[in-house]
């Protein structure tokens, strides 16, 4: 195509600039999609990783299965939870912790009942 442009044919040369203007918006849309979709997910993953690294015995937590309990011990990737009024011990993987609770589920229930 560049050979035709060099020979003086202006009809074939005018199309080469328009391909760049066609591709540029697609590249910009792709870049915006990456920023909108991937960056927030990485922030969320980092926050979860920091939360799991900071848990310690005595913290009130909720598992991904909806079980509320108090952490009894943490060893590597294993967590022992004390669950319910009878303090039943349950063993979970560290990744099963959904969030650290500010207030225990039992305390919230007791406040709602009163």
DSSP letter string, 52-74: HHH--TT-EEEETTS-EEEEEEE
Name the H helices within 1-114: 2-7, 10-54, 105-113
Model pTM? 0.63
CA–CA gap between residue 69 and residue 90 (Å, rounded): 9
* CA distances for 14 relative to 35, 48, 64, angstroms: 34, 53, 59
pLDDT of residue 107: 60
pLDDT of residue 1: 47
Q: Please identify every stretch of the chain with a pLDDT value under 70, giving residue numbers as ranges.
A: 1-17, 104-114
pLDDT of residue 109: 58
Taking the CB of residue 108, how many other CB atoms lie within 10 A of it? Answer: 13
Structure tokens at 9: 């044919």
pLDDT of residue 21: 86
CA–CA gap between residue 56 and residue 70 (Å, rounded): 10
pLDDT of residue 19: 83
């Amino acid at each position: 195509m560049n050979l035709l442009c060099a020979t003086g044919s202006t009809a074939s040369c005018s199309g080469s600039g328009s391909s760049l203007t066609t591709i540029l918006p697609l590249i910009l849309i792709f870049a915006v999609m990456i920023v909108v979709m991937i960056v927030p997910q990485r922030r969320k993953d980092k926050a979860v990783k920091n939360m799991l690294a900071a848990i310690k015995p005595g913290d009130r937590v909720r598992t991904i299965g909806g079980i509320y309990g108090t952490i009894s011990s943490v060893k590597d990737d294993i967590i022992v939870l004390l669950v319910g009024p009878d303090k039943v011990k349950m063993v979970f993987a560290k990744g099963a912790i959904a969030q650290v609770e500010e207030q225990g589920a039992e305390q919230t229930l007791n406040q709602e009942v009163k």
